[in-house]
Amino acid sequence: MPLLTIDSPVDFSYDPYSDEALRDPTALYRQLRRRYPAYPLPQYDAWALSRFEDVWAVGEDPERFAMDIGPVFDPADLARSNGGSAPAPRTFSTATSFSQLDPPVQTTLRQGIGTSLRPRAAARWEDEIRGLARERLDALVPHGEFDLYTEYGGLVSAGVICRIVGLAPDRAAEVLDLVNTSLRRKPPGPAEDTGPAHHALHHLLVEAVAARRADPDADPVPAIDGLLRTRIDGEALTDDQIAVQLATVVSGGTETVPKVVARCLLELWRRPEQLAAVRANPAANCPPAFEEAMRFGAPLQYVGRTATRSVDIAGARIQAGQRLFLLIAAANRDEQEFEQPDDFRWDRPIKRHFAFGHGLHFCIGVHVARLEGRVLLEELLTRIPSFGLDESRALVPPSDFQVGHIRLPLVVG
């Protein structure tokens, strides 16, 4: 079989920003995996990769697949082709987050934040997460109905993130709202009105950094303290630069976990025998159920990379400078990796999945995410012996970025 090139004709139509792909890409992803594991998108000088092995291999090869304009493509950037050349390495500036950079700067910045999110540090948040979850349930359960995303998981998640980045937990509602607004999409690309929310969030974080600098004897804030000690080319970071790194943690960690928790409860509720099985021992059974919800309904649709040289992958010749959409949700339903991948099974043995990414940019918040997911599920299932979900009022806005419920009403009893 000759290798596909970017101009090869294809007899099947796919565009990551089409209505169909944004509404429910599951059937399209199946076709892609079977017929075009590397699908040419000449309109973006890009390829879509859908098989697990391929996206995994790209994830762990930062030399051949760099960040450049990734990890979330802006159509304005996609419109600028690299014209067959390797992209120049992205340089660190005041507004650049480590999630958009390649090593060595990405690695240095990541290490600066990392101590606050490593397994032992993350485990210390458990009591706080449980306390927040219980507080929410105390307030919500008596109403008989509440929203799983905004009123339960979202507020707990935002409260935890506030603590991680040195903001008072009572700012959780404000932070949740700012994150939701700043990440709003109008595919392809961000919605038009996200600027003020970005600025407001940045401002809050600059204040948190300044407060920490001004009072070194206050309680430690490991995420800020690590970045205050970080040096890039021998230079300390400014408050603005630190705030940009923290904003990535806030954005990455606020709306993702509650979406997965909502999805997990929805899939369990649709399958009463599975819900009963998880309920039988929530402490033991919520972690695998959360992991299966990650695989089955990963919120992040893709991560982007750019080829730094010409490379053959998945039957295609990818030229230097071309972009790659690594389709997370397609890879996580790959029948070569998972048995009957379109079935949700809470106790499925999962060796690996791609919902937290892979390689150098592997989700830095993974330990917090798993802990939060487990506690949110466990507390809710223990506190509420029976519930229904009102799918008629559920809301999943079309997005090329973080897909998931932003409204899912739960009725107690």
Q: Which helix (H) or strand (E) holds 99?
A: none
Q: How far is the CB of 362 from ligand HEM (least distance, A)?
A: 6
Q: In the complex with ligand HEM, which residue's Cβ is closer, 6 or 249?
A: 249
Distance CA 277, CA 191 (A): 41
Q: In the complex with ligand HEM, which residue's Cβ is closer, 146 or 302?
A: 302
**Per-residue mark of binding to ligand HEM, 40-79 (x: CB under 6 A):** -------------------------------x--------
Residue 34 contacts residue 311 (beta carbons within 8 Å): no
Return the structure tokens found at 163: 């603590």
Return the structure tokens found at 48: 């879509």
Identified binder of ligand HEM from the candidate list 148, 243, 318, 363, rule CB under 6 A: 363
| Sign of the Cα pseudo-torsion (202, 206, 211, 213, in order) | positive
Return the structure tokens found at 254: 């606020």
Query: Cα angle vertex 180, ends 155, 117, to 5°?
Result: 60
The reply to whether 345 sits near ligand HEM by the rule CB under 6 A is: no
Distance CA 6, CA 402 (A): 27
Distance CA 389, CA 410 (A): 5
Q: In the complex with ligand HEM, which residue's Cβ is closer, 106 or 319?
A: 106
Residue 174 contacts residue 159 (beta carbons within 8 Å): no
The reply to whether 169 sits near ligand HEM by the rule CB under 6 A is: no
Alpha carbon 149 to its chain's center: 16
- Burial class from Cβ neighbours inside 10 Å (0-12, 13-18, 19+) for residue 342 reads exposed
Identified binder of ligand HEM from the candidate list 50, 82, 96, 99, rule CB under 6 A: 99
Distance CA 413, CA 399 (A): 32
By CB under 6 A, what part of segment 115-144 binds ligand HEM? Answer: 117
Identified binder of ligand HEM from the candidate list 249, 330, 376, 377, rule CB under 6 A: 249
The reply to whether 368 sits near ligand HEM by the rule CB under 6 A is: yes
What does the chain come to in residues? 413
Residue 373 contacts residue 257 (beta carbons within 8 Å): yes
SS (H, E, C) 334-372: CCCCCCCCCCCCCCCCCCCCCCCCCCCCCCCCHHHHHHH
How many of the chain's residues bind ligand HEM (CB under 6 A)?
27
Q: In the complex with ligand HEM, which residue's Cβ is closer, 145 or 177?
A: 177
Q: How far is the CB of 92 from ligand HEM (least distance, A)?
A: 14
Identified binder of ligand HEM from the candidate list 33, 110, 136, 212, rule CB under 6 A: 110
DSSP 7: T
Identified binder of ligand HEM from the candidate list 37, 112, 153, 252, rule CB under 6 A: 252
Distance CA 314, CA 325 (A): 13
Identified binder of ligand HEM from the candidate list 153, 357, 404, 409, rule CB under 6 A: 357
By CB under 6 A, what part of segment 259-278 binds ligand HEM? Answer: 260
DSSP 80: S
Identified binder of ligand HEM from the candidate list 50, 150, 256, 332, rule CB under 6 A: 256
The reply to whether 98 sits near ligand HEM by the rule CB under 6 A is: yes
Query: Pick from 154, 164, 168: which is nearest to 227 by CA?
Result: 164
The reply to whether 361 sits near ligand HEM by the rule CB under 6 A is: yes
Return the structure tokens found at 43: 């309109």
Return the structure tokens found at 192: 């038009």
Q: How far is the CB of 354 from ligand HEM (least distance, A)?
A: 7
The reply to whether 90 sits near ligand HEM by the rule CB under 6 A is: no
Q: How far is CA 360 from CA 62, 67, 223, 234, in A?
A: 8, 11, 19, 23
The one segment of 17-25, 134-142, 254-262, 263-271 that binds ligand HEM by CB under 6 A: 254-262
Q: In the complex with ligand HEM, which residue's Cβ is closer, 173 or 360?
A: 360
Residue number with the smallest Cβ distance to ligand HEM: 365
Q: How far is the CB of 324 from ligand HEM (least distance, A)?
A: 11
Q: How far is the CB of 270 from ligand HEM (least distance, A)?
A: 20
Q: In the complex with ligand HEM, which residue's Cβ is closer, 148 or 368?
A: 368
The reply to whether 356 sits near ligand HEM by the rule CB under 6 A is: yes
Angle between helices 366-383 and 154-164 (to 10 degrees): 140
Identified binder of ligand HEM from the candidate list 257, 286, 331, 408, rule CB under 6 A: 257
Using CB under 6 A, list all residues that contact ligand HEM: 71, 98-99, 106, 110, 117, 164, 248-249, 252-253, 256-257, 260, 298-300, 303, 355-357, 361, 363-365, 368-369
